[in-house]
Structure 1
């Protein structure tokens, strides 16, 4: 079973605020799903997000 994270856990890993992660989710920059009222992010979505960001930074 894949690892599933909360916005707070992702924020801690990326050293950003939880609000930033929630904004990424709302803007669909980071793929997630809601379980009840709480966002959840799969490990694959998190790794895809990092890969997308790091490859776009290398192109600059």
Structure 2
């Protein structure tokens, strides 16, 4: 089963605020899904986001 993260965990990994991650999710810059009212992010979505960000800097 793939690893699933909360916005808080992703924010900690990226050294940004939790609000930034939630904004990325709302603006569909990062793929996620809701369980009730809580966002969750699959590991693949997180890695895809990082790849997308690093390739846009080149």
Common fold: TM-score over 0.5: yes
Gaps of 5+ in 1: none
Q: SS at the partner of 1:50?
A: helix
C-alpha displacement at 1:36, in angstroms? 0.6
Number of aligned residues: 58
Q: Which runs of 4+ in 1 moved over 4 A?
A: none
Q: Which deviations, in whole Å up to 9, do the C-alpha atoms of 1:3-59 show, x marking residues without a partner?
A: 00000000000000000000000000000000011000000000000000000001x
Larger gyration radius, structure 1 or structure 2: 1
Query: Partners in 1 of 2:54 and 2:31 — Cα distance?
Result: 16
Gaps of 5+ in 2: none
Query: Partners in 1 of 2:49 and 2:17 — Cα distance?
Result: 16
Q: SS at the partner of 1:51?
A: helix
Counterpart for residue 26 of structure 1: 26
User: Once superposed, what is the RMSD of the aligned Cα atoms?
Assistant: 0.2
- Give TM-score scaled by structure 2 length: 0.99
